[in-house]
Amino acid sequence: MRLSNVLHYRDMRRYTKNPLEVRFEELLPLKLKNKVSGKGDRSKERACVHEMSIMFACFKKNEFDQSRCSNEINLFQVCANKHHIEKFKRKQNIREGNISLGKDNLTPREINYLLKKHPNP
């Protein structure tokens, strides 16, 4: 792989009259592949962190007495159950091959399906 033009770009700017007229040389073809890797698929956001922090703050305030923090515990359990149901539905849709239309974040499996359906020439 020849990288000399890329590595010496700064030196070329010094000796040219107009650095914006430096010719672009395509080293690799500028086209997308027909698949993506699933390495970055791990979700960064975690569910119910806010409810958990409220619950632990209540525990700390009331010396870990669960009877005084029953409302916060119930809110956390409702959030955790809702997240568990959503996760199960999402996994079921992935297994069936359904594509979640209108979503901003598609899974790598959905992206690969769409790229196979519409390949690059």
CA distance linking residue 78 with residue 36, whole number of Å? 36
Angle formed by the axes of helices 49-61 and 70-96, nearest 10°: 160
Residues 13/15/18/24 CA torsion (nearest 10 deg)? -50
Give residue 114's pLDDT: 85
Low-confidence winner among 31-45, 50-64, 88-102 (lowest mean pLDDT): 31-45
Contact 22, 16 (CB under 8 A): yes
Both tokens assigned to 98: 């359904």
Residue 24 CA from chain centroid, whole number: 32
Among 22-26, 28-32, 63-67, 91-95, the range of highest mean pLDDT: 63-67
Residue 79 CB contacts under 8 Å (≥ 6 apart), including other chains: 47, 48, 51
pTM (2 decimals)?
0.54
